[in-house]
Chains A and B, each alone.
Chain A
């Protein structure tokens, strides 16, 4: 018995587009994350600076890393769904869950 998927999966014409988009978004987020790590390593006292009323850079950057992850995830889903609807026919759509 070979390693077939748990459930049958049809051909997804948008797969290449989604993979490229995923890599681009991953690189963008990686840079954002790397910026946080770099500030901590190179100039940690900068994290103390208050940049919004009462909130320092560490808090704002930390929350931003969480919020940007969610925003990017939603944007990725939106672009993927649009592409899937354009490229895949109704029967073979990969864009709909159950």
Chain B
């Protein structure tokens, strides 16, 4: 049933695409859907474009694992639409034709702007493409049982087909369909969560028995841990000093497992964890036994105490009651954390352990973003919120959607529809994320699957529908990104910058060839970046977009002294500074396998530095070149 529903969606999307493809013969049809899309359809398609894998998979997963901090992304992403509506929507529609470059180059006709803006579109689109492709692989793996890489190839092939057949028209209707279904079925999922209610022993509706993790009593004899139950032997102890954690490897009946050591008032306790060990000879062990179809990591995360009670259930609750129960200071939630170490035999060990966290801490910022931390950690939080707020109105695949409607008023109205649809969805993300957190459905090794796994706890049909929609989410967003990127190559670079003087038919063909190349690149990157957090990557794409594009758009509209050279310099500064800051940041050092503490740039989010830098560059270069132009003009007159 799962596969049938999934294939139905995919075939529907391709069928729609082929049908609409017959209507897109001109470059206006390919890049801007002929400018004839109804504002209501465009508004929902905006939602479809925007609610990407990062929103549906990433935010829900982050809320499920770190609580309110994940919801900060929802707030920031939505707030960004205010910039789009009040500052960008109507002027952009008046200025541009097919691409972001059209709008900012409309007053100048400058080769420098064309080149810089096209590169910026490509860079931002590729940064945004990577998490979408990674998300596709993550989804397909459990759904169809095929490896991550093949999932990415499948998405790439379908998307290239969609984009190469019809461009913006099919992309728009695919996004409209997907955006509408995503909001509808997410609502269904939230209603199901509320009807099920809260319990301290979640069993996924009776389908998966609740697993009680064991705690063992032990004694500390001069640094030697001894378990009170003589059946258990301590094999080795490992300290992770940076996290102030100690883990013990215990053996019983020939099976070795990892336990978290805690010591309070002289009493020692060992708490059962889950572990994945890759031994030196390449064998993969899960919880001490060889990994297999039947031996996988258990799904986790639940309420330990509900308003102080260890064994409690509520029955159906309203959404407000659900939030109130989770935020109660006497509610305790078992969140799962990850630690990595190397055992004495040289095996690489990843340990997943429980951390009991009070509800009042879960439901305010602080578990991921250290708002009570050092000034630098606080600056990082500020930087993220700035990039999210300013990034939306600078995303190329969002900006080009303004060209698909017939007039500026329609651009405004479609933005309002988008705000309504996206805002409603983002409220749902809080309930879906918390639903996954309290229902024992999380995969401790991959938070991205929180929403689909929550759906599976309500039955395979809802799981299949939600997964198919999530897959369509990836398809739609990738399609939009590839249209934007192929427009940058064919329209901005080949036609405008290199002045190849292509006719209408050649422009469409160039766009389709570009779509093939960029789609191929996306497939490769999606495979290479397997395992990266999708929301994190999208947050970085927002920072690059806000740094490279937003200063030009805003200053072009509101500062008369802006010059072409100022815009070109600002875009280049925005791209280079944000990328350098990201590549040298602690998070990326962690991905390279290096010590994050040695990263030369201490910030994880670059926006707080790169956005003002880009603005300043534009102002300084504009003032310098504007004065120079004025002086030359005066000299010529004399």
Contact = CB atoms under 8 A, between A and B. Distances in A.
B363 A56 contact: yes
A2 B566 CA distance: 20
Interface range on chain A (Cβ under 8 Å from partner): 35 or more
Interface of B: 28, 32, 35-36, 38-39, 68, 71, 74-75, 78-79, 81-83, 85-87, 90-91, 93-98, 102-103, 105-106, 109, 320-321, 323-325, 327-329, 360-361, 363-366, 371-372, 378, 381-382, 385, 389, 403-410, 412-413, 415-416, 419-420, 423, 426-427, 430, 495-496, 557-558
Chain A contact surface mostly: helix
A15 B426 CA distance: 31
Given A54-B327, A55-B324, A98-B38, A69 B82 contact: yes
Contact of A41 (B324, B363, B381): B381
B413 A97 contact: yes
B364 A47 contact: yes
Given A3-B96, A6-B28, A56-B360, A76 B85 contact: yes
Interface string A10-41: 00100100110011011001100100110011
Contacts of A48: 329, 360-361, 363-364
A40 B69 CA distance: 11
A26 to B, nearest CB: 4
A87 interface: no
Given A2-B109, A66-B75, A77-B416, A98 B408 contact: no
Nearest to B318: A54
Contacts of B365: 40, 44, 47, 58
B96 A6 contact: yes
A9 B93 contact: yes
Contacts of A98: 36, 38-39, 405-407, 410
B412 A70 contact: no
11 contacts: A5-B94, A6-B403, A44-B372, A54-B324, A56-B364, A59-B68, A65-B75, A66-B423, A73-B419, A98-B36, A98-B405
Given A2-B109, A6-B35, A54-B323, A23 B93 contact: no
B378 A69 contact: no
A30 B495 CA distance: 39
Contact of A69 (B81, B93, B403): B81
B405 A44 contact: no
Contact of B363 (A29, A58, A73): A58
B543 to A, nearest CB: 16
B358 to A, nearest CB: 10
B43 to A, nearest CB: 10
Contacts of A65: 75, 78-79
Contact of A29 (B68, B82, B364): B82
Contacts of B416: 70, 73-74, 76-77
Contact of B97 (A6, A26, A37, A84): A6
Contacts of B403: 5-6
A30 B390 CA distance: 11
Contacts of A74: 416
B410 A44 contact: no
